[in-house]
Structure 1
């Protein structure tokens, strides 16, 4: 029974980790697309406070995923 519970936890956390890494990847792709789009704007538009706020959000961001070691 302990093995079944342990396996259930492994599956549950593996699925959650996958969802989080997929989300992080989608966010990174969105930031890159925003950066490419902003680069195409005329200089006057880039100086607009709204576009500057978007540009700040689109800056590269890194994250570290830490997964605890599974106890066997």
Structure 2
């Protein structure tokens, strides 16, 4: 088993008035991430994720999230 690195993703939200949480969760699960902590603060419109990732996946996930945010 590959060691995973704890990885924190900060995201300003919501995207088009929709919580990005389901989308993000889907992306992370596609990348086989172990989501240990998810916090979504509606008022501050900020999403904070702490995930355990295989190091080589971190860049892919950031790219995917950026793509989703830019839509």
Give me the TM-score of the superposition, normalised by structure 2: 0.27
Q: Which has the larger radius of gyration?
A: 1
Higher strand share: 2
Tell which has more relative contact order, 1 or 2 (C-alpha 8 A, sep 6+).
2
Higher helix share: 1
Give me the TM-score of the superposition, normalised by structure 1: 0.27
